[in-house]
Amino acid sequence: QVQLQESGPGLVKPSQTLSLTCTVSGGSISSGGYYWSWIRQHPGKGLEWIGYIYYSGSTYYNPSLKSRVTISVDTSKNQFSLKLSSVTAADTAVYYCARTTARRDSLDYWGQGTLVTVSS
C-alpha cells in the first residue's frame, strides 16, 4: 500500500520561500510509471493543481504559479519536494502531495495534507 506524508514548516513569512517534502513509502518513485503531484486547497475552498514530476525530473506546472514553483525529486530518499517562492497570504492553504496514475488521468494516493500559513 502506497503511503505519502508531507513535511515542512507550518508557518512561513511573506516574501519567503515555502518548502515542503513528500516522503513516499510502499513503493519506489524510481520504478517509474507514475507522476508525483502537489495540490493545494485554500481554507474552505476548492482544490488547485500545482504540478507534478516524473522520476526522471520532467515537470509540469500550473501556469498561474509557474514563475514561483519548483518541484524536484530525490529518488535516493524516495521523496519529492515543492518550493514556492515570494509567498503572500494568498498562498496560505493545505498542501497535499499525491500520486498521479500511470494513465496520468487521476490522483489515486494522497498524503494527509499539511497546513501552511503565510504570516509575519
Sites of contact with other proteins (CB under 8 A): 46-49, 51, 60-64, 96, 98, 101, 103-108, 110-113
- Whether 82 and 50 have beta carbons less than 8 Å apart is answered as yes
Strands 18-25 and 11-12: unpaired
Taking 3-state DSSP, the helix, strand and coil percentages for the chain, each rounded to the nearest 5, stand at: 5, 50, 45
Residue number, 5 or 16, with CB nearest to other proteins: 5
Q: Give min distance, CB of 13 to other proteins, in A.
A: 26
Q: Give min distance, CB of 23 to other proteins, in A.
A: 15
Q: Give min distance, CB of 70 to other proteins, in A.
A: 16
Residue number, 31 or 105, with CB nearest to other proteins: 105
DSSP three-state, residue 13? coil
